[in-house]
Chains A and B, each alone.
Chain A
């Protein structure tokens, strides 16, 4: 293959509104009236060229948001309305006139899963007047995202890339398993019947570094298999640990550094500690760090270490191949028994709402399940957009779920790439995709309400992803 040249552009912006806003990812309405740390979005544009000919390209956009809601099959039901935020497609259409020569399907958005970022969907929370409504926020968001995407694409220049693997203990498996076989998210571990943490934790930190022609670091993509949901006072906008990561990295590498926070497969993880909290708290006090700073310190330490080691191998002539395909995953079928239970829950929650309690989000959670029962008759599969990219020796694969870690481990273990970056919470429903052992243990995140797709579909996702990756390593 003739030598190709890698062109790189990047940009970041604040996506923090300047008005009070409702926060996403909560089970009830939380209005943020202050900014604890700014939510940002970062775009990195890559293109390989042979002479004047563009070979392939991609634009990654990472957002400090809970999810990038995608769309489901056409359906008149409330369920479809809930899932059809169409954020990514709407954004693609809006930015289309400004990205000449770029295939818009090769732009994708991902979320860091902060639970203190603005809501992007209508109808999930009761949002009082005077607070920015989701539709208004989306307008603001599209405007800001448009600016960085265009800037990243237009300012792309010849550069280089390096990659490496480090480790940081950030993810904590949050599902406690008990003697009777049941599991509970954030369940107590000091109970006598506690038996173990359900699954694995992936502490690998896969990192890409992007350099300009003068070998100055201009952008980095950091793949941590843990959602950013440590913060959460429910009173302020907060970008979670990624803010502290950016601050620390920019202090060392310059204010212009653009940082893509990519969350790996980690539906069963969070940074919240399941045990030995007192020891962690003591160590943080002794080191003078907040919990967010402690998490960021672990990430930054390994990123800097890997950056230093791998900058000996900056590559300017690397293969970039970007495949975008739609794959079909069998949905998790809702049973009659599950519907009956959900109906009873809805009735009970409705009673509470009549008394003035804010249970809308919880009720919708059950209602969606009831709607799915009908919907699944004509919609046995969920179609998802899969991005698989080869960049040098690195594979990057997306999915729209909170994907349990075991699936990410399977993808990494079976991939032919030297390093495999799995990015969850790319545009889509953002629902949990649990493992078989998790479904056995049940509990929030592994019950039918939490899962549009179950273990059967999870395995199909792994197989299709592996096929797509390994096609790129003939």
Chain B
């Protein structure tokens, strides 16, 4: 019986029809041509110049059985701090009627988290009335450009092939220092005698997707790096370390290569060093005085090349594509009496100073939440969850600065060979701290920073893992990779 059962299963697997993968891409410039307010810091910053262009890149994927579309996705990666509330809806709105046969819910946007890109929400900072592009005006410009990129990527899709691989790059540095009394501090000093450890893990995997056209030319790549790109500060518009990555990969693999940076779960990490700065600086000097972002780009590109070296030995044309979009609800982190008292005090302190609008809002929102909580009118946090299967790869989104531990849980429990977790997608949910981080406190793990807390974080993990498993329930054909002797 056993043998018959196995043969029967083999027959099913072998007869699943092979789908054809169609791939399209487009990159647009989203750099403003006027000074803008820059997002991501507490204080007001107005851009003085564009040190690099900001871009958005759309990747359109469709699986087809003959003329029948089986499933589709359009993913847009943007050099911006976050996809603030309403931005994704605006893009979808602008695409109505432009993408025939495409379900607009299957579009999602994600952000690289550069801290040198424009503000997109009016009122967040007290920006000058004149001489600075209004955030809503920039948002309108940006969403139009992104909509154009999406339309173009969909229209230029053609039969293609996909591959995937992974490399490693030490980019993420956990930025939370823990001290002898159990407290934690973002960017806390590590040369303090009371310093005990770095709070959490760092995920140094670089997961990469590759797409080729029918002529086996590489046309697009998506790079999932669990670290936000916020090395650059100051008052210039800047795409951060992704800019030299774009340039290097295009120099090596073609000017028209579409590159999508996808930021993985990395709410507690950045690329800024917590120790060993002098050694790093010396090494960069010895390499020809290269900048820190060039050093980071060098590591990312090396990891990408490692992944490419493996993946090009296993290029697939009959790739399964499944895309599930759900709205899920997460419990809000509850505000305690002590927390609201502190927030009230802080909000009052900043209420009348326009330069402190960020700090005022940061605290006042806690007060508002507490009142809704007490009145019983608080809603759970609603989020759009995208989960995709692309061959043996799972892709899962969330709108948070999600602490690394959650990403590790998703990857460890995923049924996929490789799991790409994309944070800062669809919307903007703030930091989602782990339980150990909440115990340590500090910016990034206090109530002001977290709409959703560890309880909600666990729900997010469980719902995401469930959705991934659902996509892996149906058996599919896969080719075994051939062994290659390339490095010995």
Contacts and interface: CB of A to CB of B under 8 A. Distances in A.
A413 B409 CA distance: 29
18 contacts: A169-B168, A169-B204, A192-B462, A194-B412, A196-B408, A196-B436, A200-B198, A201-B201, A201-B202, A283-B166, A283-B310, A286-B314, A288-B485, A293-B488, A306-B283, A412-B276, A413-B195, A414-B191
B186 to A, nearest CB: 16
Interface string B427-470: 00000001110000000000000000000000000100000000
Nearest to A300: B487
A282 interface: yes
Nearest to B197: A406
B63 interface: no
B62 interface: no
A196 B417 CA distance: 20
Interface string A179-202: 000000000011110111101110
Given A197-B201, A287-B486, A288-B488, A164 B286 contact: yes
B197 A409 contact: yes
A279 interface: yes
Nearest to B275: A413
A276 B205 contact: yes
Interface residues of A, number: 52
Contacts of B462: 192
A310 interface: yes
B200 interface: yes
A291 to B, nearest CB: 13
B59 to A, nearest CB: 21
A286 B276 contact: no
A283 B168 CA distance: 12
A195 B409 CA distance: 7
A289 B483 CA distance: 9
A409 B276 CA distance: 10
Most buried by B among A196, A280, A306, A309: A196
A140 interface: no
Interface in A81-99: none
Given A190-B412, A195-B434, A204-B276, 4 more contacts: A164-B286, A285-B481, A293-B488, A313-B286
A196 B484 contact: no
Interface in B125-153: none
A165 B481 CA distance: 35
A165 B413 contact: no
Contacts of B299: 167
Interface in B162-212: 165-166, 168, 170, 174, 190-191, 193, 195-198, 200-202, 204-205
A156 B313 CA distance: 48
A203 interface: yes
Interface in A298-346: 298, 306, 309-310, 312-313
Contacts of B166: 276, 279-280, 283
A463 B190 CA distance: 14
Contact of B435 (A164, A168, A195, A312): A195
A413 B483 contact: no
A1 interface: no
Contacts of B418: 276, 279
Most buried by A among B196, B280, B311, B435: B196
Contacts of B485: 288
B274 interface: yes
A312 B417 contact: no
A106 to B, nearest CB: 26
Contacts of A169: 168, 170, 204
B411 A275 contact: yes
A413 B436 contact: no
Interface in B392-438: 405, 408-409, 411-413, 417-419, 434-436
A200 B310 contact: no
Interface string A200-214: 110110000000000
Given A190-B413, A298-B168, A312 B286 contact: yes
B279 interface: yes
B278 to A, nearest CB: 5
Contacts of A173: 201
Which 9 pairs show the lowest CB-CB distances between chains A and B?
A196-B405, A286-B310, A189-B412, A275-B412, A413-B190, A413-B275, A288-B485, A406-B197, A169-B168
Interface string A398-414: 00000000100110111
Contact of B195 (A285, A288, A414): A414
A132 interface: no
